[in-house]
Structure 1
């Protein structure tokens, strides 16, 4: 315990530091839960349930170690499978209490408490069985209502212990295809455009492409990147395309490294006319077609979308992401410019799992970062790019591993570099 001193001679509060020796357990566990007949908390709907997991400490207190995503408008949610180190869950003590609280999500952050239950790693390790169906109990209701039984139940659907390291998969299986996509933002000849080609500095799109591209290009096996654009009229006839090769060669849209993509981007601005609407779904479906043909774990695809935040086909894009969530692919969306990015945050799905026409995404495959948050006004470019790298890559390992593990795919010898298909890539929607 230490006192904090902000003003000389004046006590400004107390910070208490609690420590516990970490167990050397290196196992991780992947679990999935569902709820049944949870309490209805919303006046106009049902509930938007999520789970909060607490590890018990040696002094009897509890520490949050995991939160699930929110499943909207249901009393019978099925949460996504998640992976957590055993050290984080119980510090390797299989009989230590694990407390789980169930909440109804509210937009203003005042989440409604539905109830709670307790278990242990040893109990959970029995897997799906009658032992792992838990009554969700609200102590306040139990004390006030004599006939109160519970606020629903939560059931463990799966429990898988995993001792493999991410690096085992990354070194042996990770072959990534990255596709850059651009949206339309003003006339590139005008300084107000995010695509403005200044002789003195990079425009907003080029800055984001260079920064993010240089972060992720080292994870690609051959450094050859197919680069597509969308939202433009193409020469010579002015047809509108939402899926065209930036280098002007639909038979071979591959560019050598991020520098090659940058060059193709600048050349495309000179030859095409930027044009709305801004549709995301065609380019997502484009990558999904390739990912659907390689489900054995030998290749994993990452789609990089750089956008100003405007989106014209939100419903179709949600459906494309839900469809792609069962494929070996992830999507990184980088927002540029001053616009509000509410639509991009929704697609990210960190708080509320994305759904389309009643179907939920099998797993979270989208990571969104607003580029403006990483421009350091003090000029510390190295620090700001380190923060950007951390957040761009934050979810890719878990997204990658969740696909491999849920399908029982194990590390294998490194595959040959991805070979472009012999037939021309279809660019007309």
Structure 2
């Protein structure tokens, strides 16, 4: 729980809040796949204070081939005692890589309030469906108030002499780690990768936040279970062991623990164990936040790229996305919504603005990388009004043309990011576009090249074009692979279609606020992932900083 607010007579106290971690499991889900079990995922919806409509909050991972999934992705949200925080959990059988929920099989839903969940710690509710006569299984949700612990545990686990479970081979082992809850049950907090055909697996080094593992209680009992993976989703239990983080830290390491199958222990008179777990190493590392780096002086540099291709429509006609005589264009609305927040993180408020896909004066040369203010020696625009002014001044001077090429803009910013890989600067490229990418091959290669650099790419789709190809650039489900076969080192792309925030039932101002939140929500994690992969720690806080924006990790 957060510390109590400071008592100051004559002032207004801050509203008490707690950060709560939700964990999901499901049991007896229906089989909707013809030749296998379902591949379930939970989608979490919230009803923001004062609004009588559901908004998607986040999604769990997909669990492949399982009617009884234990989801390892945790959902964090702020609990406010004075509000009735309504929640809805929808369960889907995932059928493809599409983020469009209509492309997947809907299994049902559960509705509760966060207050009910927090008070009961764990609930089991029958999954509802439009046809009440169909059994859709049970959703299990647990809630735990999180400590403010800012540490993570890094460990490597191996095993020796595991039981052979496969008839024609050995075993395909993986492990899960679960933490004990107040009512004596266990919830999964970590799941390893599967190591094929071995009785002596060596799993990759794992890193888990301490507050997720044990909520800062180093003596808390943890359960380590080993399973033999099976393609049909019915994994075979090998054995388990119990330990605590404090026991590992006390050492000595490596530490060997027997892997015991309680069923065998009861049935077999001379049973000893089903192998042994061995913790090779274990250490505690500090967790640095986005705000820690900003306070230490890391500079955020944002570049804006605007689509000037002909598919936007003739700017002299009202149907054009660049029509300047009917109020703010959609491009201007998106610039205002996102740019005003990015401004808070950019120290000098100076933004280079580049355009692509236009024919330029004086001879009509096609350019996919030009300065919108036509000043290559000083391409900067001051704050959002300066960006919009340059955009409006540029439109009458260029001819909208094409094609829609992203790679030149990405490589333009990449050149600057390559010069600052020490943690002193981080770059954000905001691309506003109306169309389908023409140079997808080169764009993927450029993104993979940039994935090792201090750079995030935000793409906002303007208008109602088919943006399905854009979703392939956003590596939420699988890391982006370039046509050359190279894989991105990090997920650095976030794509959001502006149209989904423009609704007749939603105040335009509220829609723009939601757009900004959705567009920018991944940047802090992308930022810290870069610093972590480069082992860059933040500098000590700079006390000459007079104003810092709020930490988005706490919003």
Q: Does 1:162 align with 2:286?
A: yes
Q: Secondary structure at the match of 1:182?
A: strand
In 2, Cα distance between equivalents of 1:178 and 1:322: 19
1:59 match: secondary structure: coil
Change (3 A) 1:361 1:55: farther
5+ residue gaps, structure 1: 5-11, 36-49, 105-109, 140-149, 418-429
1:116-265 mapped onto 2 (5 Å cutoff): 122=245, 161-183=285-307, 184=309, 185-197=312-324, 199-265=325-391
Structure 2 unaligned spans of 5+: 1-85, 87-109, 122-142, 159-173, 198-202, 264-273, 546-555
Asked whether the equivalents of residues 305 and 334 of structure 1 are also in contact (C-alpha less than 8 Å), the reply is: yes
Q: Give runs of aligned pairs for residues 97-108 of structure 1, distance below 5 A.
A: 97=222
Partner Cα distance (2:294, 2:432) in 1: 25
Alignment counterpart, residue 492 of structure 2, candidates 365, 368, 378: 365
Q: Give the TM-score normalised by structure 2.
A: 0.56
Q: CA deviation at 1:58?
A: 3.1
- Number of matched residues? 369
Q: Secondary structure at the match of 2:472?
A: helix
CA distance in 2, matches of 1:325, 1:80: 22
In structure 1, which of residues 89, 96, 121 is the aligned counterpart of residue 213 of structure 2?
89
Partner of 1:347: 473
Deviations 1:185-214 (A, max 9, x none): 2222222222222x2321221111111111
Tell whether the 8 Å contact from 1:177 to 1:226 is kept in structure 2 after alignment.
no
The answer to which structure, 1 or 2, has the higher relative contact order (CA under 8 A, 6+ apart) is 1
Residues in 1 aligned to 2:543 and 2:441: alpha-carbon distance in whole angstroms = 36
Query: Is the contact made by 1:233 and 1:272 (CA closer than 8 Å) also made in structure 2?
Result: yes
SS in 2 for 1:255: strand
| Cα pair 2:298 2:424 within 8 Å, conserved | yes
Structure having the higher helix fraction is 1
- Deviation at residue 111 of structure 1 after TM alignment: 9.9
Identify if the C-alpha distance between structure 1 residues 414 and 91 changes in structure 2 by more than 3 Å, giving closer, same or farther.
Answer: closer
Task: Specify whether residues 389 and 318 from structure 1 end up closer, same or farther in structure 2 by C-alpha distance, changes over 3 A only.
Answer: same
Q: Look up the match of 2:80.
A: none
SS at match of 1:347: coil
Question: Do 1:309 and 1:343's aligned partners in 2 also have CA atoms closer than 8 Å?
Answer: no
Matched, 1:293 2:419: yes
Query: What residue is the counterpart of 1:409 in the other structure?
Result: 536
Q: Structure 1 residue 254: deviation in Å? A: 0.5
For 2:409 and 2:544, the matched residues in 1 are separated by 25
Query: For 1:305 and 1:34, how far apart are their aligned partners in 2?
Result: 43
Q: Which has the higher Rg, Structure 1 or Structure 2?
A: 2
| CA distance in 1 between partners of 2:333 and 2:282 (Å) | 44
Alignment of 1:3-18 (within 5 A): 17=117, 18=120
Q: Which residue pairs with 2:150 in the alignment?
A: 27
CA contact (8 A) 1:280 1:313 kept: yes
Structure 2 counterpart of 1:394: 521
Deviation digits for residues 119-168 of structure 1 (CA, Å, limit 9, x no counterpart): 867388799x9879xx9x9x9xxxxxxxxxx9xx9x99997622444322
For normalisation by structure 1, the TM-score amounts to 0.71
Q: Distance in 1 between matches of 2:228 and 2:456?
A: 29
> C-alpha deviations, 1:20-74, integer Å up to 9, x for none?
6646351232769999xxxxxxxxxxxxxx9998654333545465799x99xx9
* Root-mean-square deviation over aligned CA pairs: 4.6
* Larger strand percent: 2
Assess, with a 3 A threshold, how the Cα gap between structure 1 residues 224 and 25 changes in structure 2: closer, same or farther: closer
